[in-house]
Chains A and B, each alone.
Chain A
């Protein structure tokens, strides 16, 4: 009984994350995209004009909510600890690599689970690649990989990412003319601002409390045979699946449509869906967590994770400025080359940071 109780928090959090994501789709977010950290950071990059892909430009309130929700929960729990300085450049580059892989697959690990719960068969290939990438990452961990310890830092250092999030909230609410708002495509599909913000705040707070992490779940099973975090992952899938069946039956936006072809914001190239997520899995293990987790840590005072988030944002801008991101038509030639380079770079960062055991 005690054992089940210890897993209750992560399971409930997973169920709530899944439910919130179904609700956000029902109220306007792109299909199978209640949450997608990679897509939403990419949308933010477009919203402030770092790239000019007209279909994916919007300052997503969900991301702002995630950071601020984690901040509030960390402050409430006296866990707002400002640390950083653990190989920031490596973390920036790894964040960049995560984004290259995620925009090949068209989704972060969280959206991968959400896509699975929507019946998107292509995400099965993504999941296989993700598991493979995490496995490779754990080999580096077992061989002594380390980006070195972080150091305590000045409080300002940990406050800046939440401050950036707050500034973005002011911008999206005020909607000045110099910002970009997609008129069509995924960036134009959005749940109402306050609902999206609330969804982010709830999930951010819960994820800080429970350490929910898509990468951590599979990593911990591989390293320690510990299933705790993976239960959150499975709970999200279950809630999205059931939620989609309910909204589908009710005739609302969303629903469960099993298959490979014609899935929303997805393509059917299995090999590159798989390889994209190998890159996401590998680079995320080296970073110590999935994109969601990086946002949560960034909101909790971790400036290393904030740098990883910036790497993802810049990576997203590059992906769209240079045609690396996939579309519903499939991956691009340049995107394939970028994923292969990303795999080589991540493996090099892994290999060059191996330490001999003391």
Chain B
């Protein structure tokens, strides 16, 4: 399943991609789709089932499933 992770910082995307790589997947970095954010941040596209314990950190904002009609929210990081 194609998924998109969005982040609070570009560094968050870099780190996420690195953790994906350690799990054996090459995630693809891209500008975050306009529908998901008014900010001009970086997102990572990946297919491995999302596991918050292995992939999440404080810079992760949310994870969406890419579907025919658009995006479905799978995970939203909690903020203080």
Contacts and interface: CB of A to CB of B under 8 A. Distances in A.
A176 interface: no
Nearest to B41: A288
Contact of B57 (A74, A223, A358): A358
A288 B38 contact: no
B30 interface: yes
B11 interface: yes
A141 B18 contact: no
Interface string A216-232: 10001001101011000
A208 interface: yes
Interface string B9-41: 111101100110000000001110010001110
A13 interface: no
B interface residue count range (under 10 / 10 to 19 / 20 to 34 / 35 or more): 20 to 34
Given A224-B31, A300-B38, A149 B8 contact: yes
B36 to A, nearest CB: 11
B14 A144 contact: yes
Contacts of B15: 357-358
B23 to A, nearest CB: 14
Interface in B19-76: 19, 29-31, 34, 38-40, 42, 57-59
A79 B30 CA distance: 21
A78 B76 CA distance: 18
Given A223-B29, A355-B11, A358-B18, A149 B40 contact: no
Nearest to B7: A149
A223 B10 CA distance: 11
A229 B31 contact: yes
B30 A149 contact: no
A188 interface: no
Contact of B40 (A142, A145, A150, A289): A289
A283 to B, nearest CB: 16
A358 B16 CA distance: 8
A144 B59 CA distance: 13
A82 to B, nearest CB: 12
Contact of B31 (A145, A150, A208, A226): A226
Given A152-B79, A223-B29, A226-B30, A77 B38 contact: yes
A211 interface: yes
Contacts of A144: 11, 14
A300 B58 CA distance: 23
A211 B38 CA distance: 7
A358 B19 contact: yes
Interface string A270-308: 000000000000000000110001000100100000000
Nearest to B57: A358
B38 A74 contact: yes
A159 interface: no
Given A79-B38, A216-B40, A288-B40, A224 B29 contact: yes
A199 to B, nearest CB: 22
B39 to A, nearest CB: 8
A150 B31 CA distance: 19
A58 B39 CA distance: 31
B1 interface: no
List the 6 closest A-B pairs by CB distance, nearest first. A149-B8, A146-B11, A79-B38, A358-B15, A146-B9, A357-B18
Given A79-B38, A211-B39, 14 more contacts: A77-B38, A142-B14, A144-B11, A147-B9, A149-B12, A150-B8, A151-B79, A152-B79, A211-B34, A211-B38, A224-B42, A228-B31, A293-B40, A357-B15
Interface of A: 74, 77, 79, 81, 141-142, 144-152, 208, 210-211, 213, 216, 220, 223-224, 226, 228-229, 288-289, 293, 297, 300, 355, 357-358
13 contacts: A142-B14, A145-B10, A149-B58, A149-B59, A150-B8, A211-B34, A213-B40, A229-B40, A293-B40, A297-B39, A357-B14, A358-B15, A358-B19
